[in-house]
Amino acid sequence: MANKKYLYGRYAAKTDTGKIRVNNEDRVTALTNTRGNILLVVCDGMGGANKGDLASTLAIDILSSAFNEKDRFQTKFLAKRWMANTIRKANSAIFKQAFNNPNYNGMGTTLTAVLIVNDYMVVAQVGDSRAYSFRARSLNQITEDQTYVQYLYRIGEIKKEEIATHPKRHVLMNALGIYPSLDLDIKVYPYLGDTILVCSDGLYNNVPDKDLLSILRGSDSLDQKVNELISLANANGGSDNIAVAMWEANE
Window from 30-39, 76-85, 169-178, 204-213 with minimum mean pLDDT = 169-178
Q: Which residues pair with 64 in a beta bridge?
A: none
CA distance 55 to 210: 32
Predicted confidence at residue 5, as pLDDT, reads 39
Please count the structural domains in the chain: 1
- Residue 164 inside a domain? The answer is no
Q: What range defines the domain where residue 232 resides?
A: 2-138+174-249
User: For the chain, what is the HEC assignment?
Assistant: CEEEECCCEEEEEEEECCCCCCCCCEEEEEEECCCCCEEEEEEEEECHHHCHHHHHHHHHHHHHHHHHHCCCCCCHHHHHHHHHHHHHHHHHHHHHHHHHCHHHCCCEECEEEEEEECCEEEEEEECCCEEEEEECCEEEECCCCCEHHHHHHHCCCCCHHHHHHCCCCCCECCCECCCCCCCCEEEEEECCCCEEEEECHHHHCCCCHHHHHHHHHCCCCHHHHHHHHHHHHHHCCCCCCEEEEEEEECC
Average pLDDT, stretch 218-239? 97
- Looking at the domain assignment, is residue 166 inside a domain? no
Domain assignment present for residue 161? The answer is no
- Domain membership flag for residue 144: no
pLDDT at 150: 66
Quote the pLDDT of residue 6.
43
Q: Is the pLDDT of residue 89 over 90?
A: yes
Question: Looking at the domain assignment, is residue 149 inside a domain?
Answer: no
User: C-alpha distances in angstroms, 175 versus 148, 169, 228?
Assistant: 12, 15, 29
Q: How far apart are CA 246 and CA 13, in angstroms?
A: 6
Q: What is the tens place of the pLDDT at every residue in 175-190?
A: 999 999 898 999 999 9
Could you report the per-residue pLDDT of 115-168, keeping only the tens digit for each? 999 899 999 999 999 999 999 889 999 999 877 676 676 777 777 766 666 666
Assigned domain for 20 exists = yes
In angstroms, the CA 17 to CA 238 distance is 8
User: Does residue 44 register a pLDDT over 50?
Assistant: yes
The share of the chain scoring above pLDDT 90, in percent, equals 75
- Residue 8 is predicted with a pLDDT of 75
The model carries a pTM of: 0.92
What was the pLDDT predicted at 232? 98
Is residue 197 in a domain? yes
CB 114 within 8 A of CB 120: no
Q: Output the domain CATH number for residue 213.
A: 3.60.40.10
How far is Cα 249 from Cα 78, in angstroms, rounded to an integer?
24
Q: Which residues of 232-251 are buried (b: 16+ CB within 10 A; e: fewer)?
A: bbbeeebbbbbbbbbbbbee
Q: Is residue 158 part of a domain?
A: no
